[in-house]
């Protein structure tokens, strides 16, 4: 490790490496499926590095990943995103978080037993990112969806952190509309995380009668996610009557899109955003509307699938330790992002666990 940290921090990171070591070993080299839209620090040869036309981004080409023998074969009669054997993963591609998104995809492929069975759905508000993805992951099965910021521009209210006000943060509200009707389930992931386990385990979550599944944190102070005016007005707080709401982080969710479409949850979320514009019932961007609609109605998923908060709080971005227990996903939610801290030479101990998945490369 090339960074200097306090002994206690080093011990924490070293202990995590020991705990995660079985997961951090990659599966045999693999080659992900190539498809059309539908149907870091090393100096590498130029043909292994992609630089965007405007020179904003440079990423190294990823290795190829291939399914293990036990993965079976895709249905030859079904092609594209409608193949029922696929695991669907949705991630945003935002210019400021692009480095994190690429690392997240890399981590998923590296730890998947059947990487060829994964279809990525990338949500963008810029239209020039597809070439970057295809050059970085030449064999990847993916589709890019344009999300028009104007859809939510007038629904977004100010937040405690400006990054939380970006329209693309709200694209997850519209997955049921953006993705093809044949895609009946999707895993939504934030851009500031890495997966260190086989994502098919998360995909197989039993949602029961629920529309979404996520790790819940019922020990958290749920009242802090809404303003005093919200709790003092029964028109608003009454929405939780008869429910036992718990906080959950919307950066990792398994979503039943078929049920979402049938019930019309997008409209319900938009309604709360409209209320917020006039009555200021929360401070935290895109999270509270999800809590208002789903808290207390979430299929629980093990905490190992969202070790969140590694980016610190929404202001200082201070270093955090892991929660006790096993780890399948590391999530740098909060204001501190590992790529920024690594570049500034002021990383937190756990940022070393993100670095191996970073494909960012510097041109000659």
In a domain, 123, yes or no: yes
The pLDDT value recorded for residue 33 is: 25
Is residue 20 pLDDT above 90, yes or no? Answer: no
The pLDDT value recorded for residue 285 is: 82
**Domain interval for residue 186:** 82-357
Task: Give the pLDDT band (50/70/90) at residue 124.
Answer: very high
- Residue 101: both structure tokens together: 């998104």
Distance CA 332, CA 352 (A): 12
Tally the domains of the chain.
1
**The model's pTM:** 0.84
In a domain, 128, yes or no: yes
CATH number at residue 334: 3.90.550.10
In a domain, 35, yes or no: no
In a domain, 174, yes or no: yes
Strands (E), the chain: 49-51, 58-60, 87-93, 118-124, 142-146, 185-189, 193-195, 212-214, 216-217, 247-248, 252-256, 299-300, 329-331
Is residue 339 pLDDT above 70, yes or no? Answer: yes
Task: Give the pLDDT band (50/70/90) at residue 313.
Answer: confident
Is residue 302 pLDDT above 80, yes or no? Answer: yes
Is residue 29 pLDDT above 50, yes or no? Answer: no
Q: Is 58 exposed, middle or buried (0-12, 13-18, 19+ CB in 10 A)?
A: middle
Task: Give the pLDDT band (50/70/90) at residue 317.
Answer: low
The pLDDT value recorded for residue 27 is: 32
The more confident residue out of 17 and 347 is 347
In a domain, 99, yes or no: yes
The pLDDT value recorded for residue 2 is: 36
The pLDDT value recorded for residue 215 is: 97
CA atoms within 13 A on the CB side of 306: 25
Per DSSP, the chain holds a count of helices (H) and strands (E) of 12, 13
The pLDDT value recorded for residue 128 is: 81
The pLDDT value recorded for residue 63 is: 78
In a domain, 60, yes or no: no
CB 111 within 8 A of CB 26: yes
Average pLDDT, stretch 41-65?
60
Which of 48-62, 115-129, 221-235, 344-358 shows the lowest mean pLDDT across its residues?
Answer: 48-62
* pLDDT tens by residue, 240-269: 999 999 999 999 999 999 999 999 999 999
The pLDDT value recorded for residue 181 is: 97
In a domain, 302, yes or no: yes
In a domain, 215, yes or no: yes
Distance CA 255, CA 66 (A): 27
- CA torsion sign, 50 to 337 to 199 to 250? negative
Using the structure block, give the residue that is written with the tokens 């030859």.
Answer: 76
Other C-beta atoms closer than 10 Å to the C-beta of 268 total: 14
Which of 34-38, 86-90, 201-205 shows the lowest mean pLDDT across its residues?
Answer: 34-38
* pLDDT tens by residue, 161-215: 555 578 999 999 999 999 999 999 999 999 999 999 999 999 999 999 999 999 9
Distance CA 23, CA 196 (A): 6
The pLDDT value recorded for residue 54 is: 56
**Looking at beta carbons, which pairs linking 43-48 to residues 24 or more positions away fall under 8 Å?**
43/362, 43/364, 44/361, 46/363, 46/364
Which of 24-33, 135-144, 289-298 shows the lowest mean pLDDT across its residues?
Answer: 24-33
Is residue 56 pLDDT above 80, yes or no? Answer: no
Distances (CA, A) of 126 to 52, 60, 123, 207, 220: 13, 21, 9, 33, 36
The per-residue pLDDT of the chain, averaged, comes to 84
């Amino acid at each position: 490790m090339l960074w200097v940290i306090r002994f206690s921090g080093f011990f924490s990171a070293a202990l995590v490496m020991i705990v995660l070591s079985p997961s951090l070993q990659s599966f045999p080299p693999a080659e992900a499926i190539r498809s059309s839209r539908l149907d870091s620090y090393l100096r590498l040869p130029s043909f292994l590095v992609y630089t965007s036309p405007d020179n904003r981004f440079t990423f190294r080409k990823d290795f190829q990943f291939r399914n293990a023998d036990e993965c079976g074969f895709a249905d030859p009669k079904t092609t594209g995103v409608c193949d029922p054997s696929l695991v669907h993963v949705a991630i945003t591609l935002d210019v400021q978080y692009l480095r994190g998104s690429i690392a997240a995809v890399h981590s998923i492929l590296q730890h998947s037993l059947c990487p060829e069975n994964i279809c990525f759905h990338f949500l963008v508000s810029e239209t020039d990112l597809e070439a970057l993805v295809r050059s970085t992951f030449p064999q990847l099965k993916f589709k890019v969806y344009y999300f028009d910021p104007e859809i939510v521009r007038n629904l977004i209210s100010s937040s405690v952190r400006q990054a939380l006000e970006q329209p693309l943060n709200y694209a997850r509200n519209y997955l049921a509309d953006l993705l093809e009707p044949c895609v009946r389930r999707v895993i939504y992931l934030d851009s500031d995380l890495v997966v260190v386990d086989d994502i098919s385990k998360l995909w197989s979550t039993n949602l029961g009668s629920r529309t979404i599944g996520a790790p819940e944190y019922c020990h958290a102070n749920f009242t802090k996610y809404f303003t005093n005016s919200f709790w003092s007005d029964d028109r608003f707080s009454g929405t939780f009557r008869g429910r036992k709401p718990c906080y959950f982080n919307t950066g990792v969710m398994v979503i039943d899109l078929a049920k979402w479409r049938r019930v019309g949850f997008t409209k319900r979320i938009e309604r709360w955003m409209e209320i917020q514009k006039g009555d200021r019932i929360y401070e935290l961007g895109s999270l509270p509307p999800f809590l208002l609609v789903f808290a207390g109605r979430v299929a629980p998923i093990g905490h190992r699938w969202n070790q969140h908060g590694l980016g610190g709080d929404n202001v200082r971005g201070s270093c955090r330790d892991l929660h006790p227990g096993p780890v399948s996903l590391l999530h740098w939610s909060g204001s501190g992002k590992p790529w920024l801290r690594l570049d500034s030479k002021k990383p937190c101990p756990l940022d070393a666990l993100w670095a191996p998945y970073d494909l960012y490369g510097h041109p000659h």
